[in-house]
Amino acid sequence: MLIEENISLLPYNSFHIEARAKHFVSIADADQLGSILEKDDGKSQLVLGGGSNILFTRDVKGLVLKMDIRGITMVKENDSHIFVRAGAGENWHSFVRYAIGRNWAGLENLSLIPGSVGAAPIQNIGAYGVELKDVFYELEAYDRKNKKVYTFGLNDCAFGYRDSFFKSGEKNRYIILNVTFILNKTAVLNTSYGAIREELGQMDVRTPSIRSVSQAVINIRQSKLPDPAEIGNAGSFFKNPVVDQARFQSLSKDYPDMPAYPHEEGSVKLAAGWLIEQCGWKGYRKGDAGVHQRQALVLVNYGHATGKEIFDLGEEVAASVKKRFAVGLEREVNVW
């Protein structure tokens, strides 16, 4: 196991921010992790998957643990379901393709999300009406405090809207080693998002399948979202804000065209991208930091922006939304 020193993190984050790690190690199995963390005091450690949901505003003065635990195993099956375990370091979309290739249903709406399997539970990744929690069975995680591996079932993870126990409860305490999913042998397709139905129509698909829904999602994403290989970004910079009925009623009087979707317990989810666009930010650019031209929820690095510049732009955007709509935007991206 090689611990490297003074490593550039530029290739390891989709925002393409230049930051450095004092120490850097690639973790290929749980035993390696255990032996490193046995000695380490845990300070200034950063766990990194694909780096597609992180903004570096400073160097890492300690150790970066790059999760590279691989392997996909079918654990068990019954008449209706497949239980499949994937290592934290597996690429998310490769795992989705693996499942689709075997006709295992449930992951198709989550096609083409960048990053790793191990990070997926952190914010309960979601897209097009499906969230990780819908296909989650259990995970194993290393507890830095007690230096032991624990198993977490669905109820232990407190999954919420782009949120979990690992993001809000005990942030940074647990390192996810693997995740087990429960997938369907018979597809129950979710085409509740209009964009999917429209794309299936464009594709001339009359009877949707796991594959065609996945392809529709891929097509939409490729047409709307900046490819991190070309323009640095970490997807949605903010979460969609959730407001109560009273706040929604008052806002919709002033903004009858405002998109809004019913959320949990009578609350209403607003589209952060729309709010940002109304404030005039879409396509804005200051130096190399900008707000994407096609999706205002995505902040971008056109080349050499620093993490601080992107962060400051995010603050300005959130402040203007707060001023105009009296709605707070919470960052989705993890800031280091």
> Choosing among ligand FAD, ligand NAP, none, which partner's interface includes residue 271 (Cβ < 5 to 8 Å by kind)?
ligand NAP
Instruction: State the minimum distance, in angstroms, from the CB of residue 207 to ligand NAP.
Output: 21
Check binding of 236 to ligand NAP (CB under 6 A). yes
Check binding of 216 to ligand FAD (CB under 6 A). no
Q: How far is CA 298 from the centre of its chain?
A: 13
User: What amino acid is encoded at 260 in this protein?
Assistant: A
Q: Which of 52, 85, 162, 212 is catalytic?
A: 162
Residue with tokens 């921010």: 17
Nearer to ligand FAD, 126 or 273 (CB): 126
- Closest of 118, 102, 8 to residue 52, by C-alpha: 118
User: Per CB under 6 A, which of residues 158..197 are in contact with ligand NAP?
Assistant: 192-193, 195
DSSP-assigned beta bridge partners for residue 23:
5, 63
Check binding of 240 to ligand NAP (CB under 6 A). yes
Determine the residue with CB nearest ligand NAP: 235
Number of residues in contact with ligand NAP, rule: CB under 6 A?
A: 19
Q: Is 85 a catalytic residue?
A: no
Q: Is 236 a catalytic residue?
A: yes
> Choosing among ligand FAD, ligand NAP, none, which partner's interface includes residue 14 (Cβ < 5 to 8 Å by kind)?
ligand FAD
User: Per CB under 6 A, which of residues 192..231 are in contact with ligand NAP?
Assistant: 192-193, 195, 224-225
Q: Is 44 a catalytic residue?
A: no
Near ligand NAP by CB under 6 A: residue from 295, 306, 311, 318: 295
Exposed e or buried b for every residue in 227-266, given b needs 16+ CB within 10 A? ebeebbbbbbbbbbbbbeeebbeebeeebeebebeebeee
User: What amino acid is encoded at 110 in this protein?
Assistant: L
Nearer to ligand FAD, 94 or 250 (CB): 94
User: What amino acid is encoded at 165 in this protein?
Assistant: F
Beta strands 148-153 and 174-184 are: unpaired
- Closest of 66, 73, 123, 80 to residue 95, by C-alpha: 73
Nearer to ligand NAP, 240 or 301 (CB): 240
Distance CA 194, CA 176 (A): 34
Burial label, 160 (beta-carbon count in 10 A; 0-12, 13-18, 19+): middle
Instruction: State the minimum distance, in angstroms, from the CB of residue 262 to ligand NAP.
Output: 8
User: Per CB under 6 A, which of residues 51..90 are in contact with ligand FAD?
Assistant: 51-54, 67, 88
- Closest of 55, 50, 8 to residue 289, by C-alpha: 55
Asked if residues 106 and 99 have their Cβ atoms less than 8 Å apart, the reply is: yes
Check binding of 119 to ligand FAD (CB under 6 A). yes
Check binding of 45 to ligand FAD (CB under 6 A). no
Cα separation values, 217 from 202, 252, 269, 325, Å:
12, 30, 21, 31
> Choosing among ligand FAD, ligand NAP, none, which partner's interface includes residue 178 (Cβ < 5 to 8 Å by kind)?
none
Fill in the DSSP letter of residue 52. Answer: S
| Structure tokens that stand for 207 in this block | 């009877």
Positions touching ligand NAP (CB under 6 A) are 126-129, 192-193, 195, 224-225, 235-236, 240, 259, 261, 271, 273, 295, 297, 332
Residues that bind ligand FAD (CB under 6 A): 14, 46-54, 67, 88, 113-116, 118-120, 122-123, 125-127, 162, 175-176, 225, 228, 233-235, 334
> Which sequence positions are flagged as catalytic?
162, 236, 332
